[in-house]
Copies of this chain bind each other. A is one copy, B any other.
Amino acid sequence: HTVSVFPKYIDQKKPCKQFSFYYHDIIYDGADNAANATSAAIVNPPGLGNFKFGKLVIFDDPITMDTNYLSEYVARAQGFYFYDKKLGVNAWICLTLVFNSTEHKGTLNIMGADLMREPTRDIPVVGGTGDFFMARGIATVETDATEGLRYFRLKMDIKLYECY
């Protein structure tokens, strides 16, 4: 038991599990969209720069298979994001995908910078439970649509490289 098994090799093109879906964030405007809203900012930005630096949003967002946020959700994404760039738009996100369907039960946990100015960006999957017990991998994220200050949609492509 004193032999290291590292370095190991993983072929990035051959995840042991892969799936894609859409994440919908409908931001509470403090007024008339409470019925639809799935997220809310909890603080006002402190005024550093012009790109919402420090705005922190908590969410319980639907995950669907197609681009319609009213479609049946296959998971919820629970977590938070905040904006963190003084001279441009950039975010940081941490979330749990909560699956509770006949197909999947369990969670996947994702955290990291969301470099919004890049067309696609990778964010690590750092853990999982249930069907995704001990999983690790990469979530590739792409902004798919934005509607003013109240809605945006991400395409998420999850690739797991540790499956148990």
Contact = CB atoms under 8 A, between A and B. Distances in A.
B40 A46 contact: yes
B48 A6 contact: no
A158 interface: no
List the number of copies, as a whole number. 3
Contact of A1 (B9, B47, B56, B134): B9
A148 interface: no
A42 B46 contact: yes
Interface string A1-17: 11111111111101010
A63 interface: no
A156 interface: no
Nearest to A160: B6
Contact of A58 (B38, B54, B137, B163): B54
A53 B47 contact: no
A78 B5 CA distance: 32
Interface of A: 1-12, 14, 16, 28, 30, 34, 37-38, 40-43, 45-49, 53-54, 56, 58-60, 78-80, 82, 84-86, 90, 92, 94, 96, 98, 106-107, 109, 111-113, 115, 122-130, 133-134, 136-138, 161-164
